[in-house]
Structure 1
Amino acid sequence: MHTLPTKILLATDGSREAGLASRAAADLCLRTSAELHVVHVWTNLLSEVYPTLAFEEHSDAFERGARVLLEQQADKVRSGEVFVAGTHLKEGRIAEEIVGLAENLDVGLVVVGGRSVGAIGRLVTGSISEGVARLSTAPILLVRGGEGAWPPRRFIICDDFSEEAARAGTLAAGVGRLFGTRTLLVRVHPPRLVVRAARASYSEGLPRELFKGGDEDLKNRADELEHILGTRPEIRTPTGSAAGVIQKVAEEDGEPSLIAVGAQGLSGMPRLTMGSFSTEVLRSIGAPVLIVPPLVHERR
């Protein structure tokens, strides 16, 4: 059984990117009848720069402006006939406050906006979106890619044998069914490391016989997803750098795509050599990304 979120938290800062996230969150709430909460986190910039000085008057002005922004964003959502169950104004570190509220509300999904990938985009992603993805115990939907990115017409589910990737696939399939999207199930095989005269290089791929058990497991995953989707996902098992391969798949055909990944990234040896797959996806792919973290007890 798949579980769609019954409560969604939209984080907004009034930016164009946050507007796209707002549209996605409203769309999901209309399709799932989920309860929507909206949060805006403000920071007193003067106290950040001059922590020993008192700026009560300026702080009050910042807070009033933040509250106006929050209500304006909530009103935009309401104009789309979406009921807003609560608005929440927070002060402090953005990622920490968003995650803390999500845990207090026990939401099933956090929706945030992100800028297109680039020098500035990587900076913003690293400072906020990556922080939310790193800290959150709830699934995260990072919405970006411009006006044409939502709604997606194709879901790309990245499977890597991990439990969190399986949960990401299950959630993505449940959402994908609501949109009637085409779905791809992708498991990237790592390149083979070849040592010649004390030098390491990568060949085309590891021997296929090493993946026979994994390929059977992938077919079983496709069976599970077909039961949720109502149609069978297309299976692909390319070889190469995981994030690079997924980026190519996401860019083919020019269709708006959503990437679903588990937060722990590639398991076993590939994780050691390639780092966090979900972080690579956040930094290199400009499409919306759904990230499902490990269960709380798996983080300990």
Structure 2
Amino acid sequence: MAEPVVVGVDGSPSSLEAVGAAAREAALRGTGLRLVHAFGWPSIRPPPGVPPWTPAAAGVRELVDGTLVKAEQRAREVTPHLEITREVTVGEPLMVLEIESRTACLVVVGSRGLGAFGSLLLGSTAVHLAAHGRCPVLVVRGGPNPTGPVLLAVDGSPAGEKAVEFAFAEAAMRNAGLLALHVWNTWSERAYEGPGDPLNVVVDIERLRAAEQQLLDETLSPWQTRYPQVAVERRLVRSRIRTALIDASHDAQLVVAGARGRGGFTGLLLGSVSQALLHHAHCPVAVVRGEE
């Protein structure tokens, strides 16, 4: 069996949505689904003579089993014949998912939940997981358009090459089109427009536009040859990058972005664009780390 799709489970509605999405991803890849439920370490010491804390010893085994049964039922509703395994462990959920990502092809999480898994988009946990996971991370959020394209944020950087590969593969598996969006003038979040803008005064705009178009074409061409069945729309936009991508996500079924593009600080493992998408995109977001 190939590397499984791993999904974090906590019993919340958002978690069950993530299970459904993870089941679909596993079916598309022809691999198994791994349901992972993690308990945080207890804040109190067990009484004398009581063995170290475990789900069974704490009297919550029934609760855990019920949560996992519901999760598995949800997965079966999506893909009845999927191979499903369960993992219940004691540990900090983020660390557990990081470890699971080492032997997974994809980690899927919901945007909100009941426990530590549920704080994903309320704090820095999703950002940390997307930055440090050893495989692509899919955060299930928004209302995806099931007939829409896979939206790829193209920046032309070497670090973004893995995201391009992932987006083409996803589009092929989903029988969907691919919208490759490259936004320029991205070193500032101000949109430079009009003949009086400083950029227009000191730069040959048409030459810059041609260079950005060439970057977009060179990034996509090898992968279009590899995936000829994927219909690709190349879109070059002069705008604020975060605004343009979030707006385009309205009509997409999935957004794919690299963990860090050419516009970010090289010391950061997750760029501001990916963070903005994780918090504000209108459909699920896949963050794909590039080569170290």
Shorter-chain TM-score tier: 0.7 to 0.9
Q: Is residue 248 of structure 2 the alignment partner of residue 249 of structure 1?
A: yes
Which residue is equivalent to 1:171? 166
Checking the alignment, whether the CA contact within 8 Å between 2:151 and 2:256 is kept in structure 1 is yes
Distance in 2 between residues matched to 1:110 and 1:154, nearest whole Å:
21
Change in Cα spacing, 1:71 to 1:163, as seen in structure 2 (3 Å) is farther
Distance in 1 between residues matched to 2:83 and 2:238, nearest whole Å:
45
Change in Cα spacing, 1:42 to 1:126, as seen in structure 2 (3 Å) is same
Which residue is equivalent to 1:196? none
Which residue is equivalent to 1:68? 66
Alpha-carbon distance, 1:136 to partner: 0.3
* SS of residue in 2 equivalent to 1:126: coil
Which residue is equivalent to 2:254? 258
Which residue is equivalent to 1:197? none
Which residue is equivalent to 2:104? 107
* SS of residue in 2 equivalent to 1:81: coil
Which residue is equivalent to 2:196? none
Checking the alignment, whether the CA contact within 8 Å between 1:142 and 1:290 is kept in structure 2 is yes
Distance in 2 between residues matched to 1:64 and 1:188, nearest whole Å:
51
Gaps of 5+ in 1: 194-200
Distance in 2 between residues matched to 1:20 and 1:124, nearest whole Å:
15
Q: How does 1:212-291 map to 2 (within 5 A)?
A: 212-227=210-225, 228-251=227-250, 255-267=251-263, 276-291=272-287
Q: TM-score, structure 1 length as denominator?
A: 0.76
Distance in 2 between residues matched to 1:230 and 1:21, nearest whole Å:
28
Poorly superposed stretches of 4+, deviation over 4 Å: 55-59, 268-272
Q: Is residue 85 of structure 2 the alignment partner of residue 86 of structure 1?
A: yes
> 136, 139, 144: which is aligned to 2:141?
144
Distance in 1 between residues matched to 2:142 and 2:24, nearest whole Å:
17
Distance in 2 between residues matched to 1:240 and 1:150, nearest whole Å:
24
Structure 1 counterpart of 2:158, one-letter code: E
Alpha-carbon distance, 1:8 to partner: 1.1
Which structure shows the bigger proportion of residues in helix conformation?
1
Gaps of 5+ in 2: 48-52, 194-198
Distance in 2 between residues matched to 1:293 and 1:209, nearest whole Å:
31
Which residue is equivalent to 1:54? 46
Distance in 1 between residues matched to 2:175 and 2:254, nearest whole Å:
13
Share of identical aligned residues, percent?
21
Which residue is equivalent to 1:124? 121
Q: Which moved more, 1:135-144 or 1:175-184?
A: 175-184
Give RMSD over aligned pairs: 3.2
Alpha-carbon distance, 1:15 to partner: 1.6
Change in Cα spacing, 1:101 to 1:67, as seen in structure 2 (3 Å) is farther
Which residue is equivalent to 2:6? 9
Structure 2 counterpart of 1:190, one-letter code: N
Checking the alignment, whether the CA contact within 8 Å between 2:112 and 2:120 is kept in structure 1 is no
Q: Is residue 132 of structure 2 the alignment partner of residue 135 of structure 1?
A: yes
- Alignment length, in residue pairs? 268
